Chain A
Amino acid sequence: MVDASTSAHGDLKLSHLTKSFGDFKAVDDLSLTIPEGSFFALLGPSGCGKTTTLRMIAGLEEPTSGTMHVGNTDITDMRPYRRPVNTVFQNYALFPHLSIFENVAFGLRRRGIKDVKAQVDKVLELVELPHLAERKPTQLSGGQQQRIAVARAIVNRPALLLLDEPLGALDLKLRRQMQIELKWIQTEIGLTFVHVTHDQEEAMTMADTIAVMNEGRIEQMGSPADLYDNPKTAFVANFLGQSNLIKGAIESNGADSLLVNLFGQKVALPRSRSAAKDSSILVGIRPEKFRIQPEGKEMSGNILTGGVISDVSYIGVSTQYQVEMPWGQELIVFEQNDDGVPPLDKGDKVKLSWEPIFTFGLDGSQDANAGSKLIADEEE
């Protein structure tokens, strides 16, 4: 039953992929290439079209327009069972009438493989559930079902493995362990993984490339470090880690640095790191890049004065300050706890400084809070 198309391999290429449900575009003109053998993470808020994208790649949802290729094979109109793709479903979708063993063996048997025991046992060993082989799915906990869903897919070693939040139901420890396991499987077997997740830390630690999705479109794509250091939109800056985005106006445009007026105070940033289109700019600084000092002390680099600490939270390795600036905005500052005691208190007058090279600039016409509320909602 294995045919040529099932063994197709190569880069996954999506071109102008669109999926509409009525008037609503769940996926909007998506184009991207996922190199063979890479670990690709799709990150985005709930409802942004991640599952819909995966379902189109798996052949379970018909694209409204656009094409999909694996290597040189056009898979756009291929039946799901002919695609070299397996999916770990968001809701597991284990077969309730089959034992765990038969669930895992399902794909192997359909491809006409007779001797499945060795392979099934091995993959059950991998997800650490060999003792549950004879049980039915309803007799498993959510986390166990999730691991079986992973096992059922990877046992087939497809060219492309789609994982739809495969670790969502696991506790933190098991989650970290499975992340390492999955990453190991991916590099060992050389499969291409497309991994959907809400968890930005998971995406950052596991993926070679992250695509941040929002409202059916890709906001930005790149390596984890690149996305973190050089976000191109306010949404990405806020969704991937936290950012302080301050509205300003570009005053002078030097050869390799810009001078920006932030509510009367002047700061500099490298010209190469600015994505501003005109003189209106959002100046971005990650919270851990700030240094915080009591008012009156000498500081170097970019400096903002006139802050008042409005909140202090001590979180082990670091202390998190909220500083209210004269223009009313609350900035977030993370300070390493080198001596273990928070040296500043609520109500203290402070100034903030940072190196100009740690500053990024975004187009000033967008909402500075885009993407930040979504995270807060999800963590509730």
Chain B
Amino acid sequence: MKQATRWFSKNLIRIYAGLGFTYLFIPVLYTFAFSFNDYRKSNLAWRGFTLNNWKNPCGAPDICNALGNSLKIGLIATTIATILGTLIALALGRYAFKGRTFVNLLIFLPMATPELVLGASLLTMFLNFGFNPGFLTIVIAHVMFCISFVVVTVKARIASLDPRLEQAAMDLYADERETFRRVTLPLLAPGIAGAALLAFSLSFDDFIITNFNSGNVNTFPKFVYISAERGLPAQANVIGSSMFFIALIIVLLGQVVQRKRKVS
């Protein structure tokens, strides 16, 4: 009896986990499956298996231009936001200054503000300053909303960093710069890398703010949204699935590296 209950509770957890993962991954699976669809005008009904979409991912008009823009914007915005955000996090986490609590609060604001509001007011601002919406305005907008996430992520890491390690470095003849380079930065690195990944995925994903501030520059989310009205080409599924697998590989690689470090 007792054994049966134990067997049941063990398997209950498995069933529950199975259901959970199914729920999470059905959309991904669906996207992946339909990337092999021999679609015509729209990719809603299954018309038969083909590898053509994977052989020719740029086959749909403008899709690879949009993808290229998204990748470029993502990389530039991530780099800038990560550097600036890390510096802000260091200032907030390490130094007591007047108005620190206030700045801490301000950092949360862009995360709490609805994207529609942010996007619309950014556009107003750009137009008022005589900026034509385009590549540059998208980058500026993305940097702005990514910074908050970087600051919050890196600050959490800084909070868990023992200040005595930096003191030990100073005690061992490392000046401020060497201490930062040899101790602070390497210890913060995992947090910074996590923040960068987060920033990139936020930037790559963003549609609402981008749509307001992009002028006639196309990005991947914009492409998907616009063509969804007329019928989404299966190439979008190919690119979507690829992004998913690349992210998966990065995560797995990270795990392997970490495990190796622990063993050696």
Query: Across the two chains, which residue of chain A brings its CB closest to B172?
Result: A107
A60 touches B170 (CB 8 A): yes
Q: Is B116 an interface residue (CB 8 A)?
A: no
Distance in angstroms from B74 CB to nearest chain A CB is 29
Contacts A93-B165, A97-B186; is A111 near B170 (CB within 8 Å)? Answer: no
CB neighbours (8 Å) of B183 from chain A are 95
- A residues 75-94 near B (Cβ < 8 Å) are 79-81, 85-87, 89, 91, 93-94
Report B155-171 CB contacts with A as 1/0, cut-off 8 Å: 00000001011011111
Assembly CA distance A95 to B178 (angstroms): 14
B146 CB to nearest chain A CB (Å) = 26
List CB contacts (< 8 Å) of B122-174 with chain A: 162, 164-165, 167-174
In the complex, what residues of A have CB within 8 A of residue B169's CB? 95, 106
Q: Chain A residues near B172 (CB, 8 Å)?
A: 81, 86, 106-107, 110, 152, 156
Verify if A6 is at the interface (C-beta below 8 Å from B). Answer: yes
User: By the criterion CB–CB under 8 Å, are A110 and B187 in contact?
Assistant: no
Task: Indicate if B175 sits at the interface (CB-CB under 8 A).
Answer: yes
Decide: A93 near B162, CB < 8 A? Known: A60-B167, A80-B167, A110-B178. Answer: yes
State in angstroms the CA–CA spacing of A94 and B172 once bound together.
Answer: 11
Total A residues in contact with B, Cβ cutoff 8 Å:
26
Chain A: interface secondary structure?
loop
Contact A110-B186, Cβ < 8 Å, known A60-B167, A93-B162, A95-B165: no
Known contacts A95-B183, A97-B186, A6 near B165 by CB under 8 Å: no
CA distance A95 to B168 in the complex (A): 9
| B168 A89 Cβ-Cβ under 8 A | yes
Please state if A85 and B164 are interface contacts (CB–CB under 8 Å): no
**Contact in complex: A81, B171 (CB < 8 Å):** yes
Q: Name the contact of A107 in the complex, choosing from B173, B175, B261, B264 (C-beta under 8 A).
A: B173
Contact A93 B187 (CB under 8 A): no
A59 to B171, CA, bound (A): 8
Cα distance A58–B170 in the bound complex, in angstroms: 9
With a cutoff of 8 Å between Cβ atoms, the chain B residues found around residue A111 in the complex are 173
How far in angstroms is the closest Cβ of chain B from A237?
35
A71 at the interface (CB under 8 A from B): no
Cα distance, A297 to B162, chains bound together (Å) = 65
State which residues 343-378 of A face B: CB under 8 Å: none
Contact, CB under 8 Å: B168 / A81: no
Q: How long is the Cα–Cα vector from A58 to B183 in the complex, in angstroms?
A: 19
Given known A95-B169, A97-B186, A106-B169, contact A79–B175 (CB-CB < 8 A): yes
B252 CB to closest chain A CB, in angstroms? 22
Shortest C-beta distance, A133 to chain B (Å), equals 13
Which A residues are CB-close (under 8 A) to B182? 106
Bound Cα distance from A235 to B56, whole angstroms: 87
In the assembled complex, the CB of A105 is this many whole angstroms from the nearest CB of chain B, namely: 10
Complex CA gap A110/B177 in Å reads 11
Closest to B186 in A: A97
A96:B187 contact, CB within 8 angstroms: yes
Nearest CB of B to A5, in Å:
11
Contact with A along B166-205 (1 / 0, CB 8 A): 0111111111001000110011000000000000000000
A60→B163 CA distance, assembly (Å): 11
The verdict on A1 contacting chain B, using a C-beta distance below 8 Å, is yes
CA distance A196 to B261 in the complex (A): 35
Min C-beta distance of B56 to chain A, whole Å: 46
* Residues of A contacting B186 in the complex (Cβ-Cβ under 8 angstroms): 97
What is the CA–CA distance of A113 and B187 in the complex, to the nearest angstrom? 24
B165 contacts across to A, CB distance below 8 A: 93, 95-96
Return chain B residues, CB-CB under 8 Å to A80.
Answer: 167, 170-171
Chain A residues numbered 202-250 whose CB sits less than 8 Å from any CB in chain B: none
Q: Which of A122-158 contact B (CB under 8 A)?
A: 134, 136, 152, 156
Residue among B173, B178, B261 with max Cβ neighbours from chain A (10 Å): B173
Specify the chain A residue showing the minimal Cβ separation from B189. A97
Q: How many angstroms between the C-alpha atoms of A91 and B174 in the bound complex?
A: 20
Is A58's CB under 8 angstroms from B171's CB? yes
A95→B173 CA distance, assembly (Å): 14
* B64-93 at interface with A (beta carbon < 8 Å): none
Instruction: List, in ascending order, chain B residues with CB within 8 A of A106's CB.
Output: 169, 172, 174, 182
How far apart are the CA atoms of A150 and B264 in the complex, in Å? 24
Distance A171 CA – B170 CA, assembled complex (angstroms)? 30
Q: How far is the CB of A171 from chain B (nearest CB, A)?
A: 25
CA distance A149 to B170 in the complex (A): 15
- CB–CB B187/A87 < 8 A: no
Known contacts A96-B187, A110-B178, A1 near B167 by CB under 8 Å:
no
Closest 10 CB pairs of A and B: A107-B172, A110-B173, A93-B168, A80-B170, A93-B164, A60-B167, A110-B174, A81-B173, A97-B186, A87-B171
Q: Can you offer 12 A-B residue contacts whose CB atoms are under 8 A?
A: A58-B167, A59-B170, A60-B171, A81-B174, A85-B171, A89-B168, A91-B162, A91-B164, A93-B165, A107-B172, A110-B172, A136-B261
Q: List 11 additional A-B contacts (Cβ < 8 Å) besides A80-B171, A110-B178, A152-B172.
A: A58-B171, A80-B167, A81-B171, A81-B172, A86-B172, A96-B187, A106-B169, A106-B174, A107-B172, A110-B172, A156-B173
Chain A positions near chain B (C-beta within 8 angstroms): 1, 6, 58-60, 79-81, 85-87, 89, 91, 93-97, 106-107, 110-111, 134, 136, 152, 156
